[in-house]
Amino acid sequence: MSTPKPSYLNFDKKHYPWKPDIDYRLKPAEYRVGKGEQGVLICEPYKSEIGRYWRFKTEAIAEESSEKIFNLFENYLKADDFVGADMARKYLQMGYTRARRYANYKGGKKYDKEDDYALLERGTGDREKAAAAEVFYKRWKQAEANVQYGSMKKRWKDERG
């Protein structure tokens, strides 16, 4: 049985639906929801608007960061900007997943590059990051539970994917 390898090793940039040279506010129809956090570090201008607030070093920093990002989420909804709202939701989710990775693995490293990307030992990480992850988890789930967001997402996926 082979050990899982990181997905970025076989990344197919050419066929990736999100492109860094598209302004998704000007061309929202080009945006795809995708799975999880896909596209979050590419889609401008949202990456720049939201990403500057994305921090998870400590629980207190995560509280401030997730509050700012959640406020952006709500503002995007008020502006009927689904792409912005979905990107903010993705940053909240990514706050959770990245903080969890640092909580689970020392230095946030999951794979050993020097040993054919073997999985590293779990449980060696930072306890403070576990608290930060919990903060982001609550805000992420709060965003996903938003009725307006849910209906916008369903409509978007039905129409565009």
Range of the domain at 55: 19-27+34-159
Q: Count up the domains in the chain and report the number.
A: 1
1 pLDDT exceeds 60?
A: no
In a domain, 3, yes or no: no
124 pLDDT exceeds 90?
A: no
What 3-state class would DSSP assign to 69?
A: helix
In a domain, 11, yes or no: no
In a domain, 80, yes or no: yes
In a domain, 134, yes or no: yes
Classify burial at 61, counting beta carbons within 10 Å of its beta carbon; exposed 0-12, middle 13-18, buried 19 or more. Answer: middle
Render the burial of 12-24: b for 16+ CB within 10 Å, e for the rest.
Answer: eeeeeebeeeeeb
In a domain, 142, yes or no: yes
Per-residue pLDDT tens over the stretch 77-112: 999 999 999 999 999 999 999 999 988 888 777 777
Query: Would you state the pLDDT for residue 117?
Result: 76
- What's the alpha-carbon Rg for the chain, to the nearest Å? 17
In a domain, 54, yes or no: yes
pLDDT, average across residues 135-141: 98
126 pLDDT exceeds 80?
A: no
In a domain, 93, yes or no: yes
3 pLDDT exceeds 70?
A: no
Task: Return the closest-CA partner of residue 149 out of 72, 40, 95.
Answer: 72
Query: Would you state the pLDDT for residue 51?
Result: 97
**Token code pair at residue 153:** 């997402």
Amino acid at 97: T
Concatenated DSSP letters of 138-155: HHHHHHHT-HHHHHHHHH
In a domain, 153, yes or no: yes
Residue, of 13 and 28, whose pLDDT is higher: 28
Per-residue pLDDT tens over the stretch 32-63: 998 889 999 999 999 999 999 999 999 999 99
Average pLDDT in the chain: 90
Report the C-alpha gap between 73 and 22 in whole angstroms: 21
Query: Would you state the pLDDT for residue 15?
Result: 80
